[in-house]
């Protein structure tokens, strides 16, 4: 499913492929996106036949950039959204997402966050993990470190899947 979404996004932004570093920019943008994150970025890189090492670095950077903003500012944004008629539905959806996964992180704390971010399954990743950590008011510095470790775990798994398994199929 993720591969189909990534393929659609790659097709949607196909104009980027014709400019210098356009394919790399596309991988970076996908890696920044919630839900897709570096998982999607590395799949896109494999689909675009990019160099695995540069794709790895680009995807990690793209996935790391939102993390401090989520950890330090998401609660302010969520509180504002909860009080807004226009964004209250999105805030409620995010609250449900947090509540669905928070027991996994609460139970194991730091290591729960590491593995939640690091295991590339649907609904997990740095965005959701940091959202949960922020809502649970976990220590921001420890949460940042946990997210970084998780991102590196996910990146290794996705490199193997994207350029190993997927790479042999495309």
Q: Per-domain residue ranges for the chain?
A: 2-63+156-169, 65-153
Q: Are 6 and 44 in contact (CB under 8 A)?
A: yes
Per-residue pLDDT tens digits of the chain, which is 170 residues long: 667 777 777 777 777 777 788 889 999 999 999 889 999 999 999 988 899 999 999 999 999 999 999 999 999 999 999 999 999 999 998 888 888 878 878 889 999 999 999 998 878 899 999 999 998 889 999 999 999 999 999 999 999 988 886 555 55
Torsion over CA: 62, 119, 90, 40 (sign):
positive
Query: What does the pLDDT read at residue 55?
Result: 94
List the Cα angle 116/56/166 in 5-degree steps. Answer: 80
Query: What does the pLDDT read at residue 159?
Result: 92
Q: Are 82 and 42 in contact (CB under 8 A)?
A: no
Query: What does the pLDDT read at residue 169?
Result: 54
Tokens coding 16: 């980027």
Residue with tokens 């609460």: 106
> Which of these, 38, 51, 58, 62, lies nearest to 157 by C-alpha position?
38
């Amino acid at each position: 499913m993720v591969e189909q979404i990534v393929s659609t996004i790659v097709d949607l932004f196909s104009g980027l492929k014709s400019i210098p570093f356009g394919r790399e920019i596309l991988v970076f943008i996908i890696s920044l996106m919630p839900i897709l994150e570096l998982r999607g970025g590395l799949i896109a890189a494999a689909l675009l036949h990019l160099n695995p090492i540069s794709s790895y670095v680009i995807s990690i950077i793209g996935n790391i950039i939102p993390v401090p903003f989520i950890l330090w500012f998401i609660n302010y944004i969520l509180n504002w959204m909860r009080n807004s008629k226009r964004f209250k539905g999105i805030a409620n959806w995010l609250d449900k997402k947090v509540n669905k996964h928070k027991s996994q992180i609460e139970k194991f704390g730091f290591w729960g966050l590491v593995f939640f971010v690091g295991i590339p399954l649907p609904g997990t990743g740095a965005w959701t993990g940091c959202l949960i950590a922020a809502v649970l008011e976990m220590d921001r510095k420890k949460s940042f470190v946990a997210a970084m470790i998780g991102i590196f775990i996910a990146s290794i798994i996705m490199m193997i899947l994207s350029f190993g398994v997927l790479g042999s199929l495309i």
